[in-house]
Amino acid sequence: MVSDEGDDQCLGSDLSATVKVGSCNSGLPNTLFTNGCTISDLIKNIGAQSKNHGEFVSGVAHLTDVLKGAGLFKGAAKGAIQSCAAGAAIP
């Protein structure tokens, strides 16, 4: 849930039910964090900041490590998102 403090860091969030990377649907819940960003938003931001596909995939791997470490999902879920990232034509 978004906080009431008006600090939405991802205006116009991707509120899809599942995490999508490019045209690949991971099937995993697209969590909405208190800062107003979803997992899909975070992945899109990585894509926008990446200079090449390798940098994008590496960035998504780092993000999924952090989310797994926070207990949001297990290894198979991490792998599903990383697989989508590897197959995406981003950037």
Tokens of 84: 């989508």
Tokens of 78: 């991490």
Cα distances (angstroms) measured from residue 90 to each of 9, 36, 52, 56, 72: 22, 23, 8, 7, 24
Phi, psi of 69 (to 5 degrees): -60, -30
In sequence order, what E strands does the chain have? Answer: 18-21, 24-29
Q: Could you tell me the pTM of the whole model?
A: 0.85
Q: What is the pLDDT along the chain (91 residues), one digit of tens a residue?
A: 444 445 667 888 899 999 999 999 999 999 999 888 999 999 999 999 999 999 999 999 999 999 999 888 887 888 999 999 999 999 8
